[in-house]
Amino acid sequence: MSIFLMACAGVSAQTAEAGSAVAAVVDSVIVEVPDSAVVDSAAVVQLPDTLQSAAKPDTLAESRPAKPDVTVRKAKKALPSPQVTAFNRMVAEFRKDYDAALERWDDIYLIIRGIRSKPDYYKLSMPATYYFAPVEQAFGIGGWKPRNPFVREKREALPELESLRRTLEVDSCINRQLLSFYVEYPQLVKQNEADFAALKPLQGEAIVRDESKKAIMKVMRMPRQPKKVIEKDLLVFKPNFWTLTGNGYLQFSQNYISDNWYKGGESTKSFLSGLTLQANYDDRQKIQFENKLEWKLGFITAPTDTLHSYMPNNDLFRLSSKFGYKAFNSWYYTLSAEFKTQFFSNYEANTENLVSAFFSPAELNVGLGMDYKYIKDGVCNLSVLINPVNYTLYSVASSRVDPTKFNVKEGHKRESVWGSRLESTLKWKIVSILMWESRLSYTTNYEKVLGEWENTFTFAINQYLSTKLFVHARFDDGVSREEGHSYWQLQELLSFGLNYTW
């Protein structure tokens, strides 16, 4: 029901408790006022036609006139004039605000111009609803204490408190009107407050249009300037999900000892170079594809070796790739592959016995598992790859190389191993001039273990000069070992030289 239909239907109940003699009904509205009061009957009880037709059911509309007849007569027992005047003023204010909003309900500038509705009267909006508050107010533990809501006591001049008190007074008045309306016109009440609990908010049912296939010219065209932008003036950039990075360095170290040095020794020179290239794809939604190529090559002089002037002390070529599909949070389903070998041949000192050579050894790892990623831009980049299923292929191509030193049985060229693999990579900028890069791998077939831990500490002097410390630890109990030696192996190198990152 509308605001004024409920208000008029409940006037008699409200004013009777205050000692007034105001009464109203639906088919013929009768307003009784005291002799001294001046009442604007049109402002109090006149109802719009649309509200009459919308509020009444068909049977009720046939038995009642379209508009109520209004009769104004003098009250037998008059209320004090200030009280009735206050009531008339409030009803007239309701009428004025409601009519103004009703006429401009479709005005698109209504919100822009700051015209706000009054939420204190939401219970009087359509459709008519059974609310809990009127019954609780009437039959609560404290009881219903009648009082005149139009007489305002003297209080402190605080705007916030005054606004709150006015809201409570209006709500109490509306509850009384609703209670009278429930009693007199129960057939017109169609809703119950309990039904509102199951309703979803409007924004939960919002339908979002897919604008991905909309023509670009329709998006750019302005209503007032339809031909301002033409197609040849548009420059569309396709998002690039690929990131290309790299790092190259060239390091030197030198130690000179004269032939008559009192402690003995020999002069040495060393050279170390490296190149790292990365091409990573990340659509920032589900897919990540990482590719990395590493190359390290280092030589050192060997004065005591009469057959070789230089010997390689670091030789590595490694290509790794990971394809990940996001599972949840920072975890990805991952298919990974890694291949590594060396380029140059290495001999035992003062002999021609070949220790290692190109593709001797070579190692291939292919695994399926999950990858955890933690990324903090500019500071830390951590990846932990867990492959419950992993395939490893060891290969020794040269017949001059002992295969038992590289997990291949004697007399064989290749060895296939099924097992599990764990690989963790870390890139951590500890301070502004110190970068730590670490790689830890652990591969097992549940009978033997191969573990490697590579660490590179870079002390950056400026953009082009740096000092690098390499520490490489290795454990492999699947190879043959000499008497008196352990399965643990260690390599360390400190150098200074050029370094550039892009």
HEC secondary structure over 175-223: HHHHHHHHHHCHHHCCEEHHHHHHCCCHHHHCCCCCCCCCCHHHHHCCC
Residue labelled with tokens 């004065």: 303
- The answer to whether 16 and 24 are in contact (CB under 8 A) is no
Residue labelled with tokens 């091409």: 279
User: Could you give the CA distance from residue 429 to residue 173 in angstroms, rounded to a whole number?
Assistant: 69
Task: Work out the pLDDT band at 368, boundaries 50, 70, 90.
Answer: very high
- The answer to whether 317 and 338 are in contact (CB under 8 A) is no
**pLDDT tens, position by position, 302-351:** 787 888 888 888 899 999 999 999 999 899 999 999 999 999 998 888 88
Judged by DSSP in three states, 133 sits in helix
User: Could you give the CA distance from residue 365 to residue 443 in angstroms, rounded to a whole number?
Assistant: 9
Task: Work out the pLDDT band at 159, boundaries 50, 70, 90.
Answer: low
User: Could you give the CA distance from residue 299 to residue 192 in angstroms, rounded to a whole number?
Assistant: 88
User: Which CATH class, in words, describes the domain spanning 242-501?
Assistant: mainly beta
pLDDT of residue 289: 95
pLDDT of residue 429: 92
Average pLDDT, the chain: 75
Count of C-beta atoms within a 10 Å radius of residue 164? 11
This model's pTM is above 0.85: no
Token digits for 78? 């008059």
User: Could you give the CA distance from residue 323 to residue 307 in angstroms, rounded to a whole number?
Assistant: 46
Judged by DSSP in three states, 62 sits in helix
- The answer to whether 287 and 281 are in contact (CB under 8 A) is yes
pLDDT of residue 269: 86
Token digits for 46? 């006149």
Task: Work out the pLDDT band at 152, boundaries 50, 70, 90.
Answer: low
Token digits for 156? 């402190």
SS percent in the chain: helix, strand, coil, step 5? 25, 40, 35
- The answer to whether 52 and 27 are in contact (CB under 8 A) is no
User: Could you give the CA distance from residue 125 to residue 2 in angstroms, rounded to a whole number?
Assistant: 6
Which helix (H) or strand (E) segment holds residue 93: the answer is helix 81-103
Kindly compute the dihedral angle of the four CA atoms of residues 94, 99, 105, 107, in this order, to the nearest 10 degrees. -110
Cα-to-chain-centroid distance, residue 293? 33
pLDDT of residue 130: 82
- Tell which residue, 323, 232, 229, 247, has the closest CA to residue 498: 247
**pLDDT tens, position by position, 424-464:** 999 999 998 999 999 999 999 998 999 999 999 999 988 89
pLDDT of residue 372: 95
Long-range CB contact pairs, 15-20, < 8 A, 24+: 15/79, 15/87, 17/146, 17/176, 18/79, 18/83, 18/146, 18/147, 18/148, 19/79, 20/79, 20/83, 20/84
Backbone angles phi, psi at 24, to 5 degrees: -150, 145
Whole-Å CA distances, 60 to 47, 53, 414: 16, 10, 96
**pLDDT tens, position by position, 73-121:** 444 455 455 656 666 776 676 666 656 655 544 444 444 444 455 667 7
- The answer to whether 351 and 307 are in contact (CB under 8 A) is yes
Residues 6+ apart with CB under 8 A from 500: 247, 248, 249, 463, 464
Dihedral of CA 166/171/177/180: which sign?
Answer: negative
The residues that bridge with 248 in the sheet, in sequence order, are 275, 500
Token digits for 208? 């979002």
- The answer to whether 340 and 360 are in contact (CB under 8 A) is no
**pLDDT tens, position by position, 178-214:** 888 888 888 888 788 887 776 666 555 556 666 555 5
Residue 175 has pLDDT above 70, yes or no: yes
- Tell which residue, 82, 72, 204, 210, has the closest CA to residue 150: 82
Residue 35 has pLDDT above 90, yes or no: no
Residues 6+ apart with CB under 8 A from 159: none
pLDDT of residue 219: 57
By DSSP bridging, strand 434-444 and strand 488-501 are: unpaired
Domain with CATH 2.40.230 in the chain: 242-501
By DSSP bridging, strand 191-192 and strand 242-255 are: unpaired
pLDDT of residue 100: 60
